[in-house]
A = this chain, B = another copy of it.
Amino acid sequence: MSKNKVQPKILPGFMELLPEDQIAFNKMYDTIRSVYERYGFLPLDTPLIELSEVLLAKAGGETEKQIYRFQKGDNDLSLRFDLTVPLARYVAQHAGELAFPFKRYQMSKVFRGERPQKGRFREFYQCDIDVIGQDSLDIVYDAEMPAVIYNVFKELAFGSFTIRMNNRKVLNGYFAELGYSEIIGDILRTIDKLEKIGREAVTEELEKFGVKAEDAERILAFLALRGANDDVIEALRAQNIENELYKQGVEELATVVSYLRLFGVEESAFIIDLTIARGLDYYTGTVFETMLNDYPSMGSVCSGGRYDSLAEYYTDQKLPGIGISIGLTRLFYQLKENGLIPAAGSGCVARCLVIPMGEAQLGAALTAASAIRGAGISADVYCQSKGMKQKMKYAAKIGVPYAAIIGEDEAAQGTVMLKDMATGEQKAVTVAELADAVRA
C-alpha cells in the first residue's frame, strides 16, 4: 500500500459483517419485525440525534457518561442510547394524534460509549415493542408481551427457551411486610446477583444492609420457590403475607399465567421466577427475562416489563405501559460465538446466477434472469468478460445455490444448463420451468 493511503478500519465496539453474516443477521431482523407486525404493532422511526436537554431529561450517572454528546452550531446534541426515551418523547409530543393503546415497534441502532470488551457494543440494534395506555392499560397486555416473545423465539428457531416472569409488586410488597422497605433497592440488587455470586455471598451482603439472619433465610427460601406455575402461585398465596401490594402482585401473576394459556403459549415455555427483578427503576409490575435453555451463559436475550409512567419528564399525562427489548447485535454475536449462525453457502441473496458463455448469449441470460425475478425470486447475471472457469469459480465463491449456464445451443433452444452447486448435478431446463426449478 502506498504511504499516502489512509488505513481503512472501523472503531472497536462497532459491528460490521461480511455478506454471509449480514444476510443471516437480516433474516433474524426480518423474522422479529414480521412477528411484531403480525401482532399489530406500528412502526416508529425516531431521529438518531436528539437535543441533549430532551434526551437526557431523565438520565444520570452511568448512562450520562456513556452518551455520545456533542455541539453542532448552537445545539447541544446527543445520540440516543435506547429506544424508550425517544418513545416517551414521541408519545408526549404527539399524544393528541395517536390512538391509545398505542402499540409500536422500533428496531434501530442505539449508541453507548462503553469501554469496548468482548461481546459489548457501542453501536447496536435494539428491537423494542411497547404498548402505552392513556390513564390505564389492561393486564391482558402483560400476557401479550410474552406471547410475542414466544412466537419470536419459536420462529428464530435457536432451540428451546424459557420466559421467566415475576412481578415487582410481589417483591416490593413482600419486603415491605418484612420491614425492609427502605432497603428494597439494595436487597433487589443483591438478589439480582444470586446466580453470579451464590447464596452465601448474597446472605452476607444482605446482612451488611441490615437484614436479620433469620429473614435472610426466609427471603432466600421465598426466592427459591420453583415448580409448576399454578403450584408456585398457590405457594405465594400461602406465604402469610398480608401486604396489599404483595397480594395484588400475586393475583396479577396468576392472571398473566392464565391469559398466557389463552394466548396459546406452551406451559413449558414460561415459569415464575421470583429472582427476576430487572435493574431499571421504572418497572412497577410484571417483569420478564428470556433464556435460551441450552445457552444459559448468554444471559437474558429478551427482557422488559410493566411501568406506571412512560413520559413523566415530558408530560403530566399518566401513560402506563409495558415493553420488551431484544438486543439484536449482542444476540447475533453470541449466537455466532456459539456456532448457531449457519455458515454454509448462504453468502448470496440470489437463488440462481445466470452465466452467459459469451457475449452473444447475454440477451438469453437476461431473459432467463427476468423469468426468475418475475416469480419474485432473486437472480443475478454474471456480466464480466471472463473465461468459463473463472465464471464458475465466482459462482462457487459467492455460494449461490444454482448456476444457469447458457451457451449457443441453450440460447437457440430457449433452455439453460442448470447446475445444482451443492451436488454438482446438471440438467437442461427450459426458461419457462426455471423459476420453479430454483425455488427454495
Taking the complex as formed, is A194 at the interface, i.e. its CB lies under 8 A from any CB of chain B?
no
| Given A18-B94, A370-B264, A378-B37: A49 and B11 interface contact (C-beta under 8 Å) | yes
Question: Which A residues between 93 and 147 are near B, CB-CB below 8 angstroms?
Answer: 93-94, 97-99, 101, 103-104, 109, 111, 113, 122-123, 133, 136-138, 140-141, 144
Residue tally, chain A, CB below 8 Å to B: 101
Interface residue stretch chosen among A71-79, A173-181, A287-295, A335-343: A71-79
Interface membership of A333, Cβ < 8 A: no
Whether the Cβ atoms of B314 and A50 lie closer than 8 Å is no
Complex: A391 Cα to B152 Cα, angstroms? 28
**Interface-lining segment among A160-168, A212-220, A379-387:** A379-387
Q: How far is the CB of A97 from chain B (nearest CB, A)?
A: 6
Q: Tell whether, in the assembled complex, residue B54 and residue A9 are in contact, meaning their CB atoms are under 8 Å apart.
A: yes
A278 in the interface (beta carbon within 8 A): no
CA distance in complex: A26, B104 (Å): 14
Answer whether residue A282 sits at the interface, using C-beta atoms and an 8 A cutoff.
no
Contact of A38 among B16, B50, B311, B373 (CB under 8 A): B373
Do residues B50 and A376 form an inter-chain contact, with CB atoms below 8 A?
A: no
Given contact pairs A50-B10, A264-B370, A38 touches B383 in the complex (Cβ within 8 A): no
Say yes or no: A8-B72 contact (C-beta < 8 A), given A101-B384, A144-B383, A379-B38: no
Are A8 and B54 in contact, with the CB atoms below 8 A?
yes
A-B contact pairs, 27 of them (CB 8 A): A1-B316, A5-B313, A6-B313, A6-B314, A7-B54, A8-B89, A10-B47, A10-B54, A10-B89, A16-B45, A18-B98, A19-B44, A38-B373, A38-B377, A39-B379, A40-B348, A40-B379, A48-B109, A68-B72, A68-B77, A73-B113, A99-B397, A136-B384, A259-B362, A262-B363, A262-B366, A264-B370
Residues in B neighbouring A363, C-beta threshold 8 A: 262
Q: Is the CB of B51 within 8 A of A10?
A: yes
Protomer copies: 2
How far apart sit A313 and B397, CA to CA, in the bound complex (Å)?
27
What 0/1 pattern do residues 28 to 55 of A give for CB contact below 8 A with B?
0000000001111111111111110110
